[in-house]
Amino acid sequence: IDTIAYDVKTLSLLLDELIEERATSEPTRYRQRLDALITRYKQLLSSIDETSQRCTITIPAKMIHENILQLNASLINISNAPINFRDLSDVRTTVQGQIRVCDVLDGFSHQVNELVTRGNELMRQPMVPKYVQQDVQGVQKLYNEKVQSARDYLEKLKRLLELWERFDANARRYQQQTERLNTELAQLRGNLHTITSFQHEIENCKYLRSSYVDLKLILDENAQYLQSMTSNNLLPYEILQKLKIEYDNMIEELNEKLRLIDEILHDLIADNARWMHFNDESKRLDTLLREIGSMFDAKMFGERPLEEKQQILEVKR
């Protein structure tokens, strides 16, 4: 621009000199001077035209360069939501924060596309500075990397939130069902002192044991969720250990309840067997007593043949 301004000013001075030369009274001197001035005039016109053409490339290139520098600075300052989890609520908050990060990056899409389009159009012209291509490629690369990183991180957070919510829901469901089953187990243990039907209590105990075993399915799901969170590095080590301890405690509690029920069931089955044996022996004794009593019925015993009487006595012995 300065060059063009200087050449235009020089051109104006040349025109003044040409006017003055036309007023001279010396034709030869006038012709020589006129030819020199005209030559200089043509050179300036050519220089102005060439410089103007360069400006149509240089000025847009500089503007694109400055805009891209500012855009790069803005993109570099955009960071993913920080990992600072203490509980499930923190994960939900972080997911919302990362969604806002993605929205901010999406807001730069139009500006990036516009600069890239202007740069590509400019690069079709001759004598384009090399930095234009470097600027365009650089801002595209930086923006795409930022967007991809933000989206990948958001998906990672959403997956973590999904797994942790399932783990938490299972833990609460396990706790609710455990409280109910523990109440039933306490009632079962209380009934052991006033049993009216061993078989009924055995069936209750088996049903209760089956219900506790079903809880293992919930814990198995939580084990899978923990494995997924571990293998994908979705949680800080401290939080992951906290969840593992919670899971281990649930497993330990469940195993203890199953052990207790197995002991009760074993005792009930053994007591029932003894009770059945006692009943069988009682019935057998009652039958024997009735038969012995009938032997001493004078009328019935006296009417029997001698051999039959001997056989009856032998059996009773």
Per the rule left: phi > 0, alpha: psi between -120 and 50, beta: everything else, 26 is beta
Give the model's pLDDT for residue 195.
59
Report, as an integer, the average pLDDT of 176-186. 88
> What pLDDT is stored for residue 293 in this prediction?
61
So what's the pLDDT on residue 57? 80
pTM of the model: 0.67
Report whether pLDDT(295) > 60: no
Is residue 313 pLDDT above 60, yes or no?
no
Pick the closest to residue 60 from 124, 1, 122, 110 (CA basis): 122
Question: Mean pLDDT, the chain, as a whole number?
Answer: 81
pLDDT tens-place string over residues 214-257: 999 999 999 999 999 888 787 888 889 999 999 999 999 999 99
- State the pLDDT at residue 278: 67
For 38-65, write each residue's pLDDT tens digit: 777 677 777 767 766 777 788 888 999 9
Tokens 């009652």 sit on residue: 286
Q: Where are the domains of the chain?
A: 1-58, 162-316
| DSSP characters over 120-167 | HHHTTSTT--HHHHHHHHHHHHHHHHHHHHHHHHHHHHHHHHHHHHHH
Q: Residue 12 corresponds to which amino acid? A: S
pLDDT above 90 for 125: no
Are 261 and 208 spatial neighbours (Cβ–Cβ below 8 Å)?
A: yes
d(CA 291, CA 307): 17
Q: Distance between CA 4 and CA 200 in Å, rounded?
A: 109
